[in-house]
Amino acid sequence: MRNLFTIFTLALCTVTGAGPALAAGAAKPDSHGTIVAFGDSLTAGYGVPESEAYPAQLQRKLHQSGYQWTVINAGISGETSTGALARVDWLMKLKPDIVILETGANDGLRGQDPEFTRRNIDKIVSSLQGKGVMVVLAGMRILRNLGPSYTAKFAAIYPRVAKERKVILVPFFLDKVAGKEGLNLSDGIHPTGKGYGIVTETVYPYVVKAIKQKGGA
């Protein structure tokens, strides 16, 4: 399993891909708002059709449940928290009501100081909140090959930011998917469409909570 995790570490750092794209399915006329999925290759859906990436699957699930919200995929493969912070002004051009923020994994995989990553994520959340955007923060965990101390410090980033900024926290974005055979591509790194289905199920209740707090239906 450690070998798989090591490969996962290297690949997330080096993957490059296309820029953000609109998730499958056009906004309906009675759409109540816009959700932007903001992150790296795990959000972009590296290696799977756009319709199978989690933002597209999330939009379908929301619509099926009666929440007529548009979900935009703003993931860029290989991006760090520094890159995400630099994109906040661009992100606001999409006029999001809710942002699902998934970033920091590439920082950790490169051995970046967790405090530096925490500050970046905190700045992103603070900036979005200052613009009236509700944030759902996707928690990430780093691989143990960097040692228990680093692993613990990295894991603590997300609950700390969520608590201090009072945002909704998804405890672990890749829960029940990371390292699972059959739920990742042949590289053993990125989720398959089926894997993203599980990610969607993980994220969904937290997004619904955000929608309700926003007063949407």
Nearest in space to 153 (alpha carbons), one of 112, 203, 103, 100: 112
pLDDT at 16: 39
Residue 4 pLDDT = 37
**Residue 67 class from Cβ within 10 Å (0-12 exposed, 13-18 middle, 19+ buried)?**
buried
Active site residue 30: no
Q: Which of 24, 17, 34 is nearest to 98 (CA)?
A: 34
**Amino acid letter, 205:** P
Find the mean pLDDT for residues 15-34: 51
- Are the CB atoms for 181 and 8 separated by under 8 Å? no
Instruction: Determine the Cα–Cα distance for residues 142 and 146; give it in Å rounded to an integer.
Output: 8
- Which among 77, 97, 107, 190 is annotated as catalytic? 190
Nearest-CA neighbor of 81 among 25, 46, 119, 50?
Answer: 119
Residue 172 CA to residue 35 CA, distance in Å, equals: 19
Tell me the average pLDDT of the chain.
86
Q: What is the mean pLDDT of residues 5-33?
A: 45
Residue 23 confidence (pLDDT):
47
**If you compute the radius of gyration of the chain from its CA atoms, what whole number of angstroms results?**
16
Which residue in the list 40, 41, 77, 97 is annotated as catalytic? 41
Closest CA to 217 of 99, 70, 67: 67
- The pLDDT tens digits of the residues spanning 175-191 come to 998 778 888 787 777 88
State yes or no: pLDDT of 50 exceeds 90: yes
pLDDT given for residue 217 in this prediction: 59
Q: Is the pLDDT of residue 86 over 60?
A: yes
The 10s digit of each residue's pLDDT in 144-160 is: 778 899 999 999 999 99
Cβ-defined contacts of 29-32 (< 8 Å, 24+): 30/68, 31/68, 31/69, 31/70, 32/67, 32/68, 32/69, 32/211, 32/216, 32/217
pLDDT bin (cut points 50, 70, 90) of residue 31 is low
Structure confidence at residue 11 as a pLDDT band (50, 70, 90)? very low
Q: What is the dihedral of CA 35, 19, 128, 26, to 10 degrees?
A: -20
Active site residue 63: no
To the query of whether residue 32 is one of the catalytic residues in this protein, the response is: no
pLDDT digits (tens, 9 = 90+) for 98-148: 999 999 999 998 999 999 999 999 999 999 999 999 999 999 998 777 889
